[in-house]
Amino acid sequence: MQTLVQKVSAHIRRQGLLKAGDRVGAAVSGGADSVALLRLFLELRKELGIVLSIVHFNHKLRGAEADEDERFVAELARQHKLELHCEHGDVAAFASEKHLSLEAAARELRYGYFLRLLAEGEVNRIATAHTLDDQAETVLLRLARGAGTRGLAGIYPRVCLAGETERAQTANGVGGKMRFSDRSSQFSAPGSQAERQASIIRPLLETGRKELEVYLGNLGQSWREDSSNRDLRHARNRVRHGIMPRLERNLNPSVREALAETAEIARAEEEFWKSEVARVLPRLTPGGGSVTLSLGVLAPLPLALQRRVIRAAAESLGLRLEFRQVEEIREAKTAKIMLPGGWFVLPKGDELRFERGLPTATTDYEYKVTLPGKVEVFETGTVLEALVVHVGTGSAYNPEHFLDPASLSGKLRVRNWRAGDRFWPAHTKAPKKIKELLQERHVESAERKAWPVVVCGNEIVWVRGFPAPSGLRVREGWKEAVVIVESPLFRAQGSGRKP
């Protein structure tokens, strides 16, 4: 029977993850998965011919518990005489500054550190302890949120970072301005040029979490338990501890393996479609910061390829489109189609032209907003959220924008301002027409038309860029407030939110 060490070795060789002479940093958090990764590498390093070290990032989210994790990892490095690369970052502060979830902020800081180690040449491979269970959870989460084969490809065995490491060298601070995502990863066959590039590898993607715990038990190796892994406020934990066990009991005992196999199939599909899109893309005509797509080229293509070519054309401009946007473009006849970030698609004759201009709305728009809840406003290229937040000195939001929840008893709607609309922002003497407020801010007329407001009943309670009305501000002593925040529809096209 194949041992776990042999199984992992076979996966590494089959995927071409390592070669002799690689300097590998094992990312060790202190949890069972990462400690098992380290112990497996210790057994395999002679066979693989690698130089091994440990990488640890302290997120400073769990106080003394996180510091104990760091000490535990440092002791592992000392026991096994391995170099330790260690750094910490204030994830909570970074999440507040960038308006990210704690999970997303932690990932950005952690991978920012990984990329800098790779860029500085400390290591040329960083191995993370993503398991078959992680893969299954990822596929299920993406399926539930809506994903094509690109999303269902899940976690890639290897992520080549050509270009990313160069950006890491110039990024400001830990994490910098980088965004890291498996969805844009290169995935290459063994023996390719990718083997020579700095990369992040996942040697345990075919190994289950329980297998690793049994392995550690047989070694007598202890590990650290992360209390946040039981926090059901996180979607992944709800999948891990609730949904996946129910699926195993009631639907398929091997559901984790089935989902991981789905990811394997989807990755191969993505490789095929990438080659097909690359065959068609040269027929695009770039020029002057725009892209023109010939309908004569697009129309005869199979439907699946049409969609991917449109998406690729948009991505060449830094745009990530949702399915419905791709469909609107594919079915476009004569009407201009508004996209995020001021981009639009203009059908003209036998062409589809992607161009950029100031965000404008050619017609009035209006959307319902739940409280709490969010809505995508394609006319402005933003997402608008109505949040209920705790009031206090540690709040991530400007108190100038806090609204009294009791004053918002009616249904909320976001729309562009209309002629005659008035608003009375705090610290002003009297209400003014919104047109005058925007003119005083020197908002250009082309952008002014789409300027969003939030209405409760018949009263305007929020206008982008202005403080809340004094009469609607949260009262002293109240513990909760409502805040309206606006963020780019696709974060890669903007930074932060505009209250």
Same domain? 254 vs 321: no
Same domain? 430 vs 485: yes
Query: Which region among 64-78, 94-108, 181-195, 396-410 has the lowest average model confidence (pLDDT)?
Result: 181-195
Q: What is the mean pLDDT of residues 277-301?
A: 79
pLDDT of residue 191: 42
Same domain? 16 vs 57: yes
Give Cβ neighbours of residue 380 (< 8 Å, ≥ 6 apart).
Answer: 359, 361, 450, 452, 486
Locate 2 and state its tokens: 């194949």
Same domain? 375 vs 334: no
Of 356, 383, 402, which marks where a domain is finished? 356
Which CATH number do you get for residue 63? 3.40.50.620
d(CA 110, CA 90): 11
Same domain? 43 vs 175: yes
Same domain? 39 vs 184: yes
**Residue span of the structural domain in which 344 resides:** 299-356
Same domain? 30 vs 170: yes
Same domain? 414 vs 325: no
Q: What is the mean pLDDT of residues 170-182?
A: 42
Check residues 498 and 79 and name the one with the higher pLDDT. Answer: 79
Highest mean predicted confidence (pLDDT) among 123-127, 193-197, 228-232, 361-365: 123-127
Same domain? 234 vs 303: no
Q: Is the pLDDT of residue 118 over 90?
A: yes
pLDDT of residue 284: 67
Q: Return the percentage of the chain with pLDDT > 90, whole number.
A: 48
Same domain? 341 vs 473: no
Q: What is the mean pLDDT of residues 348-366?
A: 73
Within a domain: 273: no
How remote is the C-alpha of 169 from its chain's centroid?
21
Give Cβ neighbours of residue 361 (< 8 Å, ≥ 6 apart).
Answer: 338, 379, 380, 416, 449, 450
d(CA 453, CA 384): 10
Query: Which region among 36-50, 344-358, 418-432 has the lowest average model confidence (pLDDT)?
Result: 344-358
Q: What is the mean pLDDT of residues 431-453?
A: 87
Of 323, 356, 389, which marks where a domain is finished? 356
Question: 0.85 exceeded by the pTM?
Answer: no
The number of folded domains in the chain is 3
Q: Is the pLDDT of residue 359 over 70?
A: no
Same domain? 329 vs 443: no
Within a domain: 134: yes
pLDDT of residue 254: 96
